[in-house]
Amino acid sequence: MYPGSLRILRAVLIASLVGVLGMGVVLRGWLAGLWAPPLGFSELRSAHSHLAFYGLVFPGAWWAWSRRGAQPPGPRLLGLYAIAVLASTIAFAIHGYSPVSIAGSTVVLGVWILWAFPRFRHLGARSWEGVAGPVVLASAIAIPAVAVLSSRDDPAAGAVVRAFLTWLLLGVAAPAALARAHAPAPAAWIVATATLGAGLALGPLPTLPTRALLAAEGVILALAGLASTSSTPIRIGWTVVGAGLVALGAGLLPSSYPVTLAGLHFAALGPVLVTLLRPRDSLLSGWSYLALVGTFSGAIAAPAFVGGVAWPRISALVGFAVVCVWIVEAVWYARATRGLRGVSSPSMCFQENAPCET
């Protein structure tokens, strides 16, 4: 195990949390009419969403897998990855798609592929680890399609992006989180097929078979989450995510932008990120945090159902409260790890049930 990788991962995760949550608050306040910062909205939104996937989804998954004894990318590769994430985030925020953001994103994708390909060997086993192989491959194929469609201003580009985001969140981050929470794994190829179908259903191919796979993905996540060793609120969070996917698959919920954006924020800020980063008892694994994230996501989705209410202001205020919980947790975490220094070595942190489990 590489102790240097752990340090880089920790730095990337902390910096990305600060960046993603900070930009999220700025964007929400902007939509609520509270302020108008000097950068363009779509550039800042692009920086927010790319940093979330580059800096939280993959590093969070690597962090969680390293706690289960799997090797994260080595320190040199991770160092290169960190520089590429930083450069592309700054470039996205200032210029949107530009040579620097595209070059940085290419390095990021290269590291994802290098990490994901060896996972193919787990595809036939009952393992969460095998899901990442086909999912990252499909995402790598989707990227040139997005580039071509966007250059023609084709609205289909947005649908392919939705597929891509679904694949990475449900096929890379969610399996790593469930593995960290000791949820029993089905055969990886079954989860991979359901995940790929779910992305197609929410993206460019909403047909009967893909929607059935979307519903199947919901059932898999709900059952696995319930069987995990996480706190009861987090297990309920997984069930809500699963039920939402089943409802989308069955056509009981519209797969409109506010609804899918709300689902993404509920899953990411709720069970996925909390389980990836900190499975132990904490404010983040309690009922109040689940209620806050539920209210935040509800206010994002609400305009699809009820008009005329101050939903943007409500989601801005509750989103700020969500971020405050993370700040309190970060301060507690910093104090606790300072207290543990000298008691546990970085290599112990990679062992299951290690005293410095975070």
Which parts of this chain interact with ligand HEM (CB under 6 A)? 20-21, 24-25, 27-28, 31, 45, 48-49, 52, 56, 165, 261, 264-265, 268-269, 273, 319, 322-323
Interatomic CA distance for residues 275 and 328, integer angstroms: 17
The residues near 83 (Cβ < 8 Å, ≥ 6 apart) are none
To ligand HEM, the closest distance from the beta carbon of 345 in angstroms equals: 30
Query: What value does the CA radius of gyration of the chain take, rounded to a whole number of Å?
Result: 19
CA 190: distance to chain centroid?
21
Q: Which is nearer to ligand HEM, 150 or 344 (CB)?
A: 150
Of residues 255, 293, 247, 302, the one with CA closest to residue 272: 293
Q: Which is nearer to ligand HEM, 123 or 268 (CB)?
A: 268
Q: Which is nearer to ligand HEM, 19 or 130 (CB)?
A: 19
To ligand HEM, the closest distance from the beta carbon of 186 in angstroms equals: 25
Q: Which is nearer to ligand HEM, 91 or 322 (CB)?
A: 322
To ligand HEM, the closest distance from the beta carbon of 28 in angstroms equals: 4
Of residues 92, 185, 50, 167, the one with CA closest to residue 130: 185
Interatomic CA distance for residues 166 and 41, integer angstroms: 23
To ligand HEM, the closest distance from the beta carbon of 68 in angstroms equals: 21
Q: Which residue is nearest to ligand HEM (CB)?
A: 24
To ligand HEM, the closest distance from the beta carbon of 57 in angstroms equals: 7
To ligand HEM, the closest distance from the beta carbon of 355 in angstroms equals: 28
Interatomic CA distance for residues 344 and 161, integer angstroms: 42
Q: Which is nearer to ligand HEM, 26 or 188 (CB)?
A: 26
To ligand HEM, the closest distance from the beta carbon of 123 in angstroms equals: 26
Interatomic CA distance for residues 265 and 296, integer angstroms: 8
Give whole-number Cα distances, 236 to 98, 185, 239, 291, in Å.
41, 18, 5, 11
In which residue are the tokens 């990442």 written?
132
Token code pair at residue 73: 């990318």
Torsion sign, CA atoms 350, 353, 354, 358: positive
Q: Which is nearer to ligand HEM, 197 or 271 (CB)?
A: 271
In which residue are the tokens 């520089």 written?
83
Point out which residues pair with 341 in neighbouring strands. Answer: 344
Q: Which is nearer to ligand HEM, 188 or 234 (CB)?
A: 234
To ligand HEM, the closest distance from the beta carbon of 165 in angstroms equals: 5
Q: Which is nearer to ligand HEM, 123 or 172 (CB)?
A: 172
To ligand HEM, the closest distance from the beta carbon of 299 in angstroms equals: 11
Q: Report yes or no: 167 and 199 within 8 Å, Cβ to Cβ.
A: yes
| DSSP-assigned states of every residue in 287-321 | HHHHHHHHHHHHHHHGGGT--SS-HHHHHHHHHHH
Q: Which is nearer to ligand HEM, 132 or 262 (CB)?
A: 262
Of residues 16, 116, 97, 58, the one with CA closest to residue 276: 58
